[in-house]
Structure 1
Amino acid sequence: MTAGELPEGRAILEVRQAVRSWRAHRVDRSGPLAVALSGGADSLALTAATVAEAPSVRALVVDHGLQSGSSDVAAGAAETALALGCVEATVLRVTVGREGGMEAAARRARYRALDDARGGATVLIGHTLDDQAETVLLGLARGSGPRSIAGMAAEDPPWGRPLLGTARAVTRAACAELGLTPFEDPHNSNSDFTRVRLRREVLPLLEDVLGGGVASALARTAAQLKEDGAVLDDLAGALVAKATIGSELDVTTLTAAPVALRRRALRSWLHGVGAKALSDNQLRTMDALVVDWRGQGGVAVGGGAPGARLVVERRHGRLRAELEWSLPR
């Protein structure tokens, strides 16, 4: 089957329209595209639609090696990609570690392999509206503010997610229209994973109790928060520029700003000095250095270097980030 031979069923046309709309709004409209193909319904439908809408699409198939027969599944997905019209299909075999649990470790290994193999292309991921709703609920449970419930971005270079407004049921229907049999990953029915329980238990219950449309409402909420967040981030960037003196931040300038801008400015500045994985509690403790100064000591944040942690202190009315070494150098 080639792109020109795709049937014009309602579902595959909806997926194609989603890809077409995403391409029309992307920053680099002419840049090369690759699709992350797992063999599941979402990525299969995305691959078929992308081949129909864009030239010279490559497929990148990650074999996590987490179950017997995974290499056969990956090879089959690559073969299907070529049959759909991809100019190339590459199988990427990865080793999944244990840190942070299997789900998180597999995700890290997958994205690292995709990034290494993309060759400058934007990689399209088959996340759907349902995935977005699950992500919003997970963020809500973390209680880390609007940023954590703004969900995934449709364009987050080098990743693209054209199907964030497309339901999972549509991608399954599209595969049926195309005569494709998706691979059913057994991990997607394993209730040991929080996301699986959200998918199989929580969201269906919410849909029942609230009368339907919950996944769409959560996805719309994420989109609205992301739009609002972009404006706040721009304003926070201007605040950082105004407060920066050398490599330090002027406390007086920060104090005069609204709390929403001040904390975003602190986050932006911290990322700029090498901080990583900032928690809401760390940001609030940092904010206290600005507006609730009682002579408290520095705040350690994630980042730094081997043998040293990154610590932010207030000195003479300014915030300063320094490496604190555990052993004398």
Structure 2
Amino acid sequence: MQNGRAGRLHPAVGTARRHLAAALEKLLGAGSIKATGRSRTASTADAADLPLLLVACSGGPDSLALAAIAAHFARRGDVRVGAIIVDHGLQEDSAAVAAQTAQTLTDLGLHPVITEKVQVPVGNMGPEMAARTARYTAFTKAVEATGARAVLLGHTLDDQAETVLLGLSRGSGTRSLAGMPPVRVEGGVTYLRPFLGLRRTDMLDICDAETLTPWIDPTNTDETLMRARIRHSVLPYLEEHLGGDVARSLARTASVAGPDAEYLDEQAQVAYEQALLPAGTAVRGIEREDAVLLDRAQVAALHPALRLRVLATACKTAGGENPGFERLQALDSFTAEYAVAGPVQMPGHVSAYRRRKIVHPATGERLDVLVLVPTRP
């Protein structure tokens, strides 16, 4: 175990501690965490009041290294650190891997260590997205059960580069260039990715320094999966033919684009709320109380960068899925054109209509309204 004695701390461990300390300071407040220093002395009562962090750990090198680094701050008395292990049940030995990982984390001093077995949904989603959906549902359940302040994720610079390249291949816009944010709130849960500036090789070095034996997920080399194909074929090809460190360049692009995308998302949320009509607004032919009603003229007047985000938000708020480029463009055209009768069908069983001369319940003004209605019972 790396205890920080003179001359014995592996450089990768020291760097990772600094990255995690910086991320935790942003979460918990300035001066709350230091990357180095002596352990604090705290009573059992004080320790119970410390914020709890959960490491999402598969047993692989990245998340196991993160657990080891987080355990350092738990030993010092800065925070409490537990873990959530998700057994997807997709491999024959998944239960044994989860059990071994739980024991390793317990030996590191993490508490509580929660293992959640999930059922990966089979439907329109690809296998990777289906597994992610099940995994994040388990994370939310663990946070609700423990009151954890945040979930720590072990994604690295290499994961970020793969994410950006995946998004570019799908033509997903600014958000794809932004990759994975270092901090994200999803479903009421705060997720931290403190290692987006570190390489996958650093994680292996940390595991070696901490004498940990990580589990190697066989799906990481299964090139029938897109991410594995990008990792083992596409990125090496680009680096061979373009030269330089393509992964680092892609991750740098995400760092530049991330704040831009975040700002646009924030402004779009403000614009959405301003265009939203109050609940209970009477609209002929629309009886669903969960329908989303927007001032069409107000939405149409927005800059396209905001307008498309507002329309996507409206779709998701109405219970639909995040619309792809073609469907979103169709809804955008429908919002601007008076002649098109509609409805426009959006993914996730949502229909978009227009209704004219709808009376605003607060102002009495007659408006042209864009209505998004869930069609599921």
TM over 0.5: yes
Task: Please identify, of 68-77 and 15-24, the stretch whose mean Cα deviation from structure 2 is larger.
Answer: 68-77
- How far apart in 2 are the matches of 1:104 and 1:147? 17
The Cα offsets for residues 44-84 of structure 1, whole Å up to 9 and x where unpaired, read as 11001111124221122222232233322222211211222
- How far apart in 2 are the matches of 1:145 and 1:273? 23
Q: How many Å apart are 1:42 and its aligned residue?
A: 0.3
Q: How many Å apart are 1:5 and its aligned residue?
A: 8.0
| Aligned sequence identity (%) | 39
Q: How many Å apart are 1:237 and its aligned residue?
A: 2.7
- How far apart in 1 are the matches of 2:5 and 2:62? 20
1:232 paired residue number: 264
Correspondence list, 1:5-24, <5 A: 8-24=9-25
Q: How many Å apart are 1:213 and its aligned residue?
A: 2.1
Matched, 1:67 2:91: yes
RMSD (CA atoms): 2.4
Task: Please identify, of 206-215 and 40-49, the stretch whose mean Cα deviation from structure 2 is larger.
Answer: 206-215
Choose the corresponding residue for 1:310, options 350, 358, 364.
350
Q: How many Å apart are 1:132 and its aligned residue?
A: 1.0
Q: How many Å apart are 1:22 and its aligned residue?
A: 1.0
- How far apart in 2 are the matches of 1:324 and 1:93? 32
TM-score, normalised with respect to structure 2: 0.78
Task: Please identify, of 130-139 and 259-268, the stretch whose mean Cα deviation from structure 2 is larger.
Answer: 259-268
Choose the corresponding residue for 1:105, options 130, 142, 167.
130
- How far apart in 1 are the matches of 2:133 and 2:161? 21
Choose the corresponding residue for 1:95, options 119, 132, 135.
119
- How far apart in 2 are the matches of 1:81 and 1:3? 17
- How far apart in 1 are the matches of 2:5 and 2:117? 31
Contact 2:315 2:322 (C-alpha < 8 Å) held by counterparts: no
**Compared CA separation, residues 214 and 253, structure 1 to 2 (3 A):** same
Correspondence list, 1:230-269, <5 A: 230-246=262-278, 248-269=293-314
The Cα offsets for residues 196-245 of structure 1, whole Å up to 9 and x where unpaired, read as 11001111121222222211221122222221122222322332344334
Matched, 1:185 2:209: no
- How far apart in 1 are the matches of 2:180 and 2:2? 31
Q: How many Å apart are 1:41 and its aligned residue?
A: 0.7
Tell which has more relative contact order, 1 or 2 (C-alpha 8 A, sep 6+).
Answer: 1
Helix, strand or coil at the partner of 2:116: strand
Correspondence list, 1:1-329, <5 A: 1=1, 8-26=9-27, 31-54=51-74, 55-99=79-123, 100-118=125-143, 119-121=146-148, 122-157=150-185, 158=189, 159-246=191-278, 248-303=293-348, 309-316=349-356, 317-324=368-375
Q: What one-letter code is carried by the residue in structure 2 that aligns with 1:179? A: T
Task: Please identify, of 83-92 and 48-57, the stretch whose mean Cα deviation from structure 2 is larger.
Answer: 83-92
Q: How many Å apart are 1:142 and its aligned residue?
A: 1.0
Helix, strand or coil at the partner of 1:58: strand
Helix, strand or coil at the partner of 1:148: helix
Task: Please identify, of 267-276 and 222-231, the stretch whose mean Cα deviation from structure 2 is larger.
Answer: 267-276
Contact 1:94 1:113 (C-alpha < 8 Å) held by counterparts: yes
Q: How many Å apart are 1:315 and its aligned residue?
A: 2.1
Contact 1:2 1:83 (C-alpha < 8 Å) held by counterparts: no
**Compared CA separation, residues 175 and 313, structure 1 to 2 (3 A):** same
**Compared CA separation, residues 276 and 3, structure 1 to 2 (3 A):** farther
Q: How many Å apart are 1:19 and its aligned residue?
A: 0.9
Q: Please identify which structure carries the higher helix content.
A: 1
Contact 2:3 2:9 (C-alpha < 8 Å) held by counterparts: no
2:44 paired residue number: none
Helix, strand or coil at the partner of 1:68: coil
Contact 1:57 1:87 (C-alpha < 8 Å) held by counterparts: yes
The Cα offsets for residues 106-143 of structure 1, whole Å up to 9 and x where unpaired, read as 22222222221232212111111111111111111111
Q: How many Å apart are 1:94 and its aligned residue?
A: 2.6
- Count how many residue pairs are aligned between Structure 1 and Structure 2: 321
